[in-house]
Structure formats: C-alpha cells, structure tokens
Amino acid sequence: MKLIQLSVFLENRPGRLARSCRVLADAGIDIVAANVVDTREFGILRLIVADAEAATKALAGAGYAVNRAEVVAVEVADRPGSMAVILEALDAAGVNVEYAYAFTERRGARAALVFRFAQPEAAIAALQRAGIPVIGPVEAFRAG
Amino acid sequence: MSMQWNDVDGGMDPVSSADFMPRQQLKSLQMQRMRAVVRHAYEHVSVFRGRMDAAGVKPDDIRSLDDVRRLPFTHKTDLRDHYPFGLFAVPMPEIVRLHASSGTTGKPIVVAYTAEDIRVWSEVMARSFAACGLSRRDVVQNAYGYGLFTGGLGAHYGAEAIGATVIPISGGNTERQLTVLKDFGVTAICCTPSYFLHLWESAQAQGLKRGELKLKVGVFGAEPWTEDMRARIQREAGIRAHDIYGLSEIIGPGVACECHCQCGPHIFEDHFYPEIIDPKSGEPLPDGAEGELVLTTLSKRAMPMIRYRTHDITSLSDDTCNCGRSLRRIRRIARRSDDMLIIRGVNLYPSQIETALLRVRGTAPHYQIEIGRENDLDTLAVRVEIDPAALGDQLADLEDLRDEVSRSIEGVTGLRAQIHLAEPNSIERSQGKAKRVIDRRRLS
C-alpha cells in the first residue's frame, strides 16, 4: 500500500531543476507526482514515478544524489471537503502528516494525494477504517 | 639493471637492503655523497657557485654533516629565474630526460636527468613499492599522468623495476579506469588520493562491489591529504592506503614512502638529505620538531639541489619504525608553509577543512574554499558535496547537516564559514592535484 518516493538533492541555481527533469525525460520516465521544497540555497525534488528503479538509475547515473522514502497515496474525490475528511480521519487516529502534495494527473473526478507519515502503517489503518481508498501501485490508480 | 629485484617471499629483499643500513654507515655514506654533490654543484652551476661565494663557503668547508647548515638555500624561484636550463650541471648530451611542472603560476620549471639519475629514481620508486608490500606478483594500475609530470613515468619505472605488471593507463577517463580495475585483476593503484576517492565513488554509483575487485593497495601522493582521508579510503574501499612523497625539483615521486606500518613516509636518506628548519629564521630544528622540510639531493648529477626549500611542513621522526628500516620518517605532510591562508587574522590550512568535513557524516571530502572580501572583512565560504547515502527527504535534515558542517569547521579552525551544500560531482575533479582554494582577495 506504500509507494516509493524519490528525493533528489538540487542546488538552488537556475537550470538545475530543468536538467534533472531532462534526465528523466531522456530515460522515458513518466512523472506521476512532483513536489519541490527549497531554501535560498538548495532544495529537494520529491518524485513519484511509474518506474522508481529506472528513475533512480537514470538520476544516479547523471550524478544526482537520490534517496528513497515510503509514502502513502490516497484517492480523493475532486470536490470541496475531500481533503478535510482525510485529515480529520488521520487526526482522530493521532497520526501526524509530515507533508503532502498532489498527483499531477487525475482520472475523471478522482484526484490523488501523496502523504508522508512518520508511521505509515498506522496511517494506512486509519484511512482504511474511514473508508478512504489507499492507492496500491500507481498503475491501479491510472487503470481505475 | 643488474640487481635481482624483489623476488623473495618474506625476509629482507635486495630491493630494500639499503633501507636497513645501520645509521652510522648511512651517515658516512651521506657525508661522502654530500661532499661530492656540493663540489659538483659548485663547479658546474654558476648560481650555486655565486651564492656559496657570497656566503663565504667553499666545497672544502663541508667536512661534516653539521656543516651543511652553512650552505645557502635554493628556492623554487631559482628554477623559474634560470628557466629553462640554468641549473643544469651537465652538458645536454649527458641528459636523457626532461620533465616540467605544469607551472600554475607563471613559467613552468624544468628538471633534468642523466641515465644514472633515472636509475636512482627507478631504485627509490622500487624501494617505495617494496615498502608498500608490492612485488612481481602485483598488477599495478598507474593512474598518475604520463608526460611532463614526473608522477606517471616515475611510478612506471619503479613498478617495472620490482617486476610488477604495469598498466600505464595514465590519468583521466574514469570509465576506462574502472573497467581496467575490474577486468585486469588490478591489485595496486597509483594516483592522487582525491582522484582515487572520485574513482571509488564512481565505482559505487555503477554498483561495483569490493568483492569483485582484487585491489588491496593504493600508493597515493602528489597532493597533501589527511589521516582522516586515509581512514575513509581504507574503510570504504577495503584497501591499504600508503602515502608516497616526492617533488619534481628533487627527483619526482619516491623521495619518501610509507612502509606497512603506515606511520609516515621513510625518506630514502642515502639519496636525499633531509633537514627541518624554522621557515622564518631558516635555523635547523632537531628531530621531532615541526618545521619546513629542506632537501639536498645526494646523488643527482643532471640537476643537483642544495638545501631546497620544499615549503612542506612536517617533522622528522626521532624514534625507530617497527619495520626495522633505519631511514627516518617524515610526519604526513598535510600542509605547506605557502598554502596557509590568513582569514580575519586567523591562520587556516586547507587540510583543516578536510579534517573538519571528514568528521561529519553526510558530506564527501570534495570541497572548495572560497575567500572573498566584503566591506573590508574577509569572507570564508566552503562548498562541499553531499554524500548521496546521507540524503533524506526533508529539508530540515539538510539544514542540520549544513549546521553540523559549520560547527565542525569552527571547531577545527576557529572560523565561521558559510557552508554551501553542493550536488555530487559538481566540484571539478582534477586529474592531478585538486584545486581547493579560490582566493578572490588576490584577484581584486
């Protein structure tokens, strides 16, 4: 039920983000979700891709520092209040969200959110109890 | 070469026999050679003659090794001022080889060898490799640059002299280096420590494992490096890393090399006479005291050097090494008297930054020091590459890492530096000596 998120270290200089995306593009890697956090000097590009193995290889081969983390993706209906419902369910279970961002693609009225939890197992259990669909592999969301 | 090189298992081999000469015998050999080289230099090099005359000292005045201190020093500027051939002591037909330095500042310096000089150079390099435990059974990847730089050919001749299988791959082309390292069953590698680290990181990025390699020894030199750097190389690559010392002005690599005890390079004192002096006053210092290394070539014919100021800061050992060699050791050279930076009135050596970085997990010891001046105040910034293995997914971790680096540098140097975390491989790798310092104060 967990997805692999890649974290790529980037110096905060013009062109660095573009170059890393070019490396992925040249390797034929499809980006499912992306999120950049940065300070004045450096940042981390967080990525969910269809093929984490191939993406890691391409990025590391191009000299990037890449790391992996486990995240949880949740399917949400694209209407007001969906996010609130999810966060309330997590809150009720006492699970903290470290950060969250959205999939770049959606399927009809369905969208997807990526969450990073300190305790992903507890989070998944809480979400399932609340009847919120947790996405297994990326393909399942796309096919559904 | 008529000697039987290093073909014995265990015990003292003929290559290294001179390393174990009793001190008294060594001193009398040094004295005999010192007298000859001073006379040779005086008679054939006008610069030496002029300087000795001005100092009121004649070759006959050198009656004991204590008299050596009466001889004038030779400086690197002498080689530049008398470029290209002004310090040669034999006519060109006797010279069989010229090498030259890269000349990072101004004109290059040129050094010369007679056939006998090349033999001596091969001998000291052979003794260096023997001290590292290498023999004819080793396969040596020589990744020092071949060409005008003395590293490549110096190591090549020495490795051949012990009968090892030499791969003259020269510097650069990391991909090919790794292929050869793996496919040719390489057991020993020669290069700069920073280049080896780069090779090793590239090997890991390619998924190459220690078990796939036969590499067991590295003979590293041509740039100052620290004990922490050695520890890291040995731990990560699982090899024994030996420090070899030399400089083109004296002969090239092979002036001194570490034995298996790895407690500082043994100077081949039968060919190079070492002194430690106070770099300011020029006064000789006793064994054990730290100062500038001064070297006199005892057997060089083409281009003898009398009391050459190396600018390398070290000390001479005052105890005997467990290996039994009678040759004194120099303490690892991690700094030079001329690479000292003064920042806001505080002395800083680049090697201190290396030491500080190696104490922090999460950075690679690839760094660049940038010094500038803002509002009449010196600024110190250190760019350091992050270690991919230490990357997390949170900015806070990186900020913690940056602060930890900053604290470590302040702890070692007493200076606060602005830390810039850099992407892996973003700091330029040199094939030879790493460029560690950019001092913009000199440029403005």
B422 three-state secondary structure: strand
pLDDT for the residue B222: 87
Range of the domain at A22: 2-68
Which of helix, strand or coil describes residue B440? helix
Residues of B with CB below 8 A from A9's CB?
A: 386, 388, 391, 398, 421, 423
Q: Say whether residue A65 is in contact with chain B using an 8 A CB cutoff.
A: yes
Which chain A residues have a beta carbon less than 8 Å from that of B395? 37-39, 43-44
Identify whether residues A41 and A104 lie together within a single domain: no
Asked whether residue A92 falls in the same domain as residue A120, the answer is: yes
Determine whether B205 is exposed, middle or buried from the number of CB atoms within 10 Å of its CB (0-12, 13-18, 19+): middle
Give me the residue from B205, B393, B395 closest to A5, CB to CB. Answer: B393
Of B398, B424, B425, the CB nearest to A42: B398
The per-residue pLDDT for range A65-106, each reduced to its tens digit, is 999 999 999 998 888 898 899 999 999 999 999 999 988 877
Do A61 and A77 fall within a single domain?
no
Chain B residue with the nearest C-alpha to that of A61: B205
Chain A residues close to B422, C-beta within 8 Å: 11
Per the prediction, chain A carries an average pLDDT of: 90
Query: Of A5, A42, A66, which has the smallest distance from its Cβ to B388's Cβ?
Result: A66
Mean pLDDT by 10 residues, chain B (444 residues): 42 76 96 98 98 97 96 94 96 97 70 98 97 96 94 96 97 92 97 90 86 96 89 95 96 97 97 96 95 97 97 93 96 82 86 90 88 88 90 91 95 93 84 76 62
A58 plus A106 within the same structural domain: no
Contacts of A2 in chain B (CB under 8 A): none
* Two structure tokens written together for B64: 């004991």
Q: Contact B399/A46, CB-based, under 8 Å? A: no
User: Measured between alpha carbons, how far is B270 from B406 in angstroms, rounded to an integer?
Assistant: 46
**pLDDT, position B223:** 82
Contacts of A42 in chain B (CB under 8 A): 398, 421
Chain B: which residues have CB within 8 Å of chain A? 205, 386-388, 391-395, 398-399, 420-426
pLDDT attached to residue B104: 52
pLDDT at B427: 87
Q: How far is CA B170 from CA B13, B109, B156, in A?
A: 29, 21, 10
Same domain, A52 and A7: yes
Q: Note whether B388 contacts A43, CB cutoff 8 Å.
A: no
Among A16, A39, A116, beta carbon nearest to B395 = A39
Which chain A positions have a beta carbon within 8 Å of B429's beta carbon?
none
> What topology does CATH give the domain B341-443?
GMP Synthetase; Chain A, domain 3 (3.30.300)
A107 and A56 in a common domain? no
Q: How far is B389 from chain A (nearest CA, A)?
A: 7
The rounded distance, in Å, linking the Cα atoms of B217 and B129 is 10
Of A10, A69, A98, Cβ closest to residue B423: A10
Is residue A79 domain-shared with residue A128, that is, in the same domain? Answer: yes
Asked if the Cβ–Cβ distance from B398 to A9 is below 8 Å, we say yes
If asked whether residues A107 and A57 sit together in one domain, one would say no
Tokens of B183: 């496919």
Cβ of B386 and A66 within 8 Å?
Answer: no
**Residues A20 and A76 placed together within one structural domain of the fold:** no
Question: H-helix or E-strand containing A43?
Answer: strand A42-49
SS3 B374: strand
> How remote is the C-alpha of A97 from its chain's centroid?
13
Domain B1-337 has CATH 3.40.50.720: no
Tell me the nearest-neighbour CA distance from B386 into chain A, angstroms.
8
Could you tell me the two tokens for B354? 């290396």
Judge if A138 and A80 occupy the same domain: yes
One digit per residue, pLDDT tens: chain A, 144 residues?
A: 789 999 999 999 899 999 999 999 999 999 999 999 999 999 999 999 989 999 999 998 888 999 999 999 999 888 889 889 999 999 999 999 999 998 887 777 788 999 999 999 999 999 999 999 998 877 767 766
User: Do A81 and A133 fall within a single domain?
Assistant: yes
Using the 3D structure, point to which of A68, A86, A112 is the last residue of a domain: A68
Return the CATH number at A44: 3.30.2130.10
Contacts of B36-44 with C-beta under 8 Å, sequence gap 24+, read: B37/B296, B37/B297, B37/B298, B37/B299, B37/B300, B37/B304, B37/B306, B38/B62, B38/B71, B38/B306, B40/B89, B40/B301, B40/B304, B41/B89, B41/B304, B41/B306, B44/B89, B44/B90
* Domain count along chain A: 2
Decide which of A68, A96, A116 is a domain's last residue: A68
Single-letter code of the amino acid located at B442? R
Query: Would you tell me which residues 15-54 of chain A have a C-beta closer than 8 angstroms to some C-beta of chain B?
Result: 16, 37-39, 41-44, 46
Residue showing tokens 């391409």: A58
Chain A residue numbers with beta carbons less than 8 Å from the beta carbon of B388 are 9, 60, 64-67
pLDDT at residue A144, rounded to an integer: 60
Domain end call among A39, A68, A97: A68
Rounded to the nearest angstrom, the gap between the alpha carbon of residue B111 and the centroid of all alpha carbons in its chain is 17
Same-domain status, A75 and A64: no
Q: Compute the half-sphere exposure of residue B150: CA atoms within 13 Å on the CB side of its CA.
A: 27
State which amino acid sits at residue B48.
F
Domain boundaries, chain B: 1-337, 341-443
